[in-house]
Structure 1
Amino acid sequence: MIERPDDAPGAGLSFDYAGFGRWYDSYRVEVLDPALVEVEAVVGGLLRDALSERDLARIRGPVGRVKSKPRAWRKLSHRRYVDRIDVVDDIPDVIDDLVGIRLTCTNRRDIDVAREVLDALPVADDGRARLWLAPDSERDYLDRPRPSGYRGWHVNLGLAVDVGGSRQPVSCELQVRTLLQDGWGELTHEDTYKKDGELPPLVEVLSRRMADLLSTLDDIAEDLRDELDRLDEAAVTSAPLPLTTETEGPGRRAAQAADAAAYLGTRWRALDRPVDLAALAWELQRDHGAEITDDWFGFGTFKRFLSSAVPAAEITTGRNAYILPADPVPEDDAADDAGADEHDGDVPDGDVGGHAESDQTTRHGTTGQGTAGPGTADEAEAAVPAAARALHRVDRTFPLLGHDDWTRLFDHLAEAWRRTGAQPPTDRLARRLIQSTRDRSAASGPPLAARHVEAVVRDLVAEGDGVPRPADELAGTYATLVQQRLVELRLIGARNRNARAAVRRWIAF
């Protein structure tokens, strides 16, 4: 053991900075730098595959870094790690953020979107996965900020890197923040100005005050985004200006309209899943400018322009309109339909059409936020039907919950509705039920995620007559609505009773 003063960097380690440096230089070239390139590419690919262009525009990154030699030395010299490191080769097993990447999101809701994409990863290394979530590594500083005021969501990713022809696991830390949270980190030097985790008192007070103010701004930005999204969705089917003989038809800005129509035709032919019209309209606005929404090239609404540009396309009806892929759903196997009633308790998911993922279930449990978390789910609780995952891939607001959270949601909603009483099924009733349901869940345990409660409540209020119902009836009604959406979006065939039964068991047991 090399003797150093007790408070000197590296005190208690069996090697000095020079010995550490020789190991670090070699390990960085062979492992860390390739791991950084790989994890940026894999996480970026996951996001591109799972999200619409509109969602991707709200998430920046991933961008990463390899922890520098001096900062790595400083960290491993901390008393929390010294006793766990005997030789330099122990360092990667103890310091889990030598490689780090970051996603920066426009709003907090986008953090939830990114988290749900990552939930599809395997939990722990099975010896075959390219990327996985490290069990018990999640650190949620969004609702429980650090004393300094820092907010963000962290999780460790395991990555398999090829080193000399052999598979070597490497730990990478992922940080997800909003733009304002990231700006707070830059302004306060959160990543660099730390002395054993403590800040001078005045710095800590000012940092926390600024963090709290920026958190309030994040809430306002979220409300602004919700309203802008609502206006975008309304503009898809509602004409902002009355049609006149001067604007009616495709003659106005003919060349630009033809270019936009050609883009829509190409997009439709390449679709592998339904796309909501608001997201597709956003793509055109991005390229052609917001002014096209004034009259949509003389057609008044985006939906009418889309129908003219791609007359063969099928567009759904309902609260949220979608354009469906050109490829039809394969014919259902007649055996599925014939056997579903007899074997309703143990049938597999069945064919979920040409647009769902092939594996049958995903590991999906519950955390304090009502979403899946690494390593938190009991396997018996964690089966989510492939059809439900296919719907979530199309509509990121659709909840993927474990059985306990479905039960809690409907129980709390039924009680909230009973106390509210029968009212007209309006947006006012929906807002009241959403808030009351969330308050009740928070009072009895981990709060249910606002986006999950909102998705369920709004569908049930829009479908019903405003009269309270028992929890089991609410669950059954919602399961029926989900089944109808799956058929309407061609994610399952109309006769695929196995897939419908699996969804009903998952939601309504």
Structure 2
Amino acid sequence: MTAPETQASIGYADFGTWYDEYRTRVLDPALAAAMTSLQATLDEALSDRDRTRIRRISGRVKSKRRAWRKLKRLLREGTITTVDDVPTAIRDLVGLRITCTNLRDIEMVQAALDGLPLPGKSPMGLCFDPTSERDYVLEPKESGYRGWHVNLQVGIDIENKATPVTIELQVRTLLQDSWGELTHEDSYSKDGELPPLVEVLSKRMADLFATLDDIAEDLRSELDRLDQAAVTEPGSSDTSALDLQSEQAADAASVLVARWSELDRPVDLASLAWRLQAEFGAEISDGWFGAGSFKQFLLQSIPEAVLSTGRQAYLLPARLETEPSPAPETATLTNDVPGGARALRRVDAGFPLLEAPRWETLFVQLAEAWRRIGKLESNARSVNRLTRSARDRSRSTGDTLSRRHLDYVAKSLLAAEGDGSPLDAEAIARTFSDLTLQRMTDLRIIGERDHKQRAQIRRWLGTDPDGA
């Protein structure tokens, strides 16, 4: 339905008729498709353990009343003249919300979405628009609101034609979501101002919840450290006392063997240990049936098991080839990302899959930021400082880089051996390329003698393949 071309003629009745028809034909199907695709994306990208960090996934179509309220403001501003402009002017007619546990879980979701194609690349699938990110965690709204927003796009079939529909996704922690519920932040008109007392109290509550989120993050970091130690470090138990003949130990060992035989990618030991505890109870971690650590119990249960080397231990699949065959040609050429990089992404959800030119931009901005800051220590504060500086510089050029992509590379560089002195862009590219290839080798994604795939990775990261 096309509305009259004059602003004054767009009344509530005309809008209501258009809205009812458009919701049934487009918005409701788009919401259903987006919910299904988002759930599938998270299921594919996240481990069983990580999926428990997602507390809720919900969705809604903006009500007629709220859409009309927003439309009236756009009409006054002169940015819209007909209801046919509404879908492009109001980008949150369809909205999804993910509520997760901690701040780092927001980054986990961001990493999972990074693997989605860009808008227009998958007509009937879910797409991710990185240029639309609004990070209200780093830069809260004046009201105190915190959360991460981004636009997705989903294609639906309308009259045998793929039609893209924009979806706004909000990702919040439990505390950030609770603030919104307690303050009724979504209920106030965007056109008006909050009552002064409500504004002050809401801001105070937001700051308190943000402090609690930080404390919860610190608590989780310490618990994760203890879990990792319990998984990999030998305990005080006598490993000779390991009793796989006990019914529970034998059952647990059988679960590990079955899981190992099903693996199609490396899996970290912490996730395996969590799965056993979820099935048999947390108390099994008290000595791990006499093995002293989960790692020892795993090796006793599966003598043929091979674990990766490196900072984080992974169990390698039972039938993983030492020299894997190249990925299909269509996969290696998509977005100029090699098959080996996609294989690493299946293991490490945070590994960036960028088009080759973006790596050069990222390395240049990191190098300039590092040069300005000077020598850095290997800690979280230095990573945040370097990442923020590089992101701010990229934003000033009009070519904003993703904070999590910068963060991933910065963490890798500062954790590598070195004294923290600034590196130029070429040295950053070379170092990150070496670290990436070593990780792929440790995980048996690429073999030591697989010169073709190693050269592909180096070219993709902007380094000389002859350096392989």
Q: TM-score, normalised by structure 2?
A: 0.84
Aligned to 1:249: 243
Aligned to 2:398: none
Cα deviation 1:343-370 (Å, max 9, x = unaligned): xxxxxxxx26x9xx9622665xxxxxxx
Aligned to 2:58: 63
> Would the aligned equivalents of 2:123 and 2:164 in 1 still touch at CA under 8 Å?
no
Cα deviation 1:238-264 (Å, max 9, x = unaligned): 13332277x53324xx22222222222
Q: Secondary structure at the match of 1:172?
A: strand
Aligned to 2:168: 173
Aligned to 1:259: 251
Aligned counterpart in structure 1 of residue 197 of structure 2, from 199, 202, 206 = 202
Distance 2:27 2:391 in 1: 42
Aligned to 2:458: 504
Q: Secondary structure at the match of 1:158?
A: strand
Given the superposition, is the C-alpha separation of residues 508 and 229 from structure 1 closer, same or farther in structure 2, using an over 3 Å criterion?
A: farther
Q: Secondary structure at the match of 1:63?
A: strand
Letter in 1 for 2:140: P
Aligned to 1:396: 349
Distance 2:95 2:248 in 1: 44
Runs of 4+ in 1 over 6 A off after TM superposition: none
Distance 2:365 2:90 in 1: 39
Aligned to 2:278: 286
Given the superposition, is the C-alpha separation of residues 270 and 332 from structure 1 closer, same or farther in structure 2, using an over 3 Å criterion?
A: closer
Cα drift, residue 302 of structure 1:
0.7
Distance 1:308 1:212 in 2: 49
Name the % identity: 49
Aligned counterpart in structure 2 of residue 191 of structure 1, from 186, 193, 198 = 186
Aligned counterpart in structure 1 of residue 411 of structure 2, from 455, 474, 481 = 455
Q: Secondary structure at the match of 1:272?
A: coil
Cα drift, residue 182 of structure 1:
0.8
Instruction: Identify the range of structure 1 (383-392 vs 99-108) with the bigger mean alpha-carbon deviation.
Output: 383-392
Aligned to 2:28: 33
Aligned runs of 1:307-326 on 2, under 5 Å? 307-326=299-318
Given the superposition, is the C-alpha separation of residues 146 and 250 from structure 1 closer, same or farther in structure 2, using an over 3 Å criterion?
A: same
Q: Secondary structure at the match of 2:331?
A: coil
Structure 1 stretches of 5 or more lacking a match?
1-10, 334-350, 364-382, 421-427
Q: Secondary structure at the match of 1:157?
A: strand
Cα drift, residue 207 of structure 1:
1.4
1:117 lines up with 2:112 in the alignment? yes
Aligned to 1:491: 445
Cα drift, residue 148 of structure 1:
0.6
Distance 1:361 1:113 in 2: 26
Cα drift, residue 151 of structure 1:
1.1
Cα drift, residue 277 of structure 1:
0.6
Q: Secondary structure at the match of 1:249?
A: coil
Aligned counterpart in structure 2 of residue 146 of structure 1, from 133, 141, 145 = 141
Q: Secondary structure at the match of 1:64?
A: strand
Aligned runs of 1:212-251 on 2, under 5 Å? 212-243=207-238, 247-251=241-245
Aligned counterpart in structure 1 of residue 292 of structure 2, from 288, 293, 300 = 300
> Would the aligned equivalents of 1:241 and 1:294 in 2 still touch at CA under 8 Å?
no
Bigger proportion of residues as helix: 2
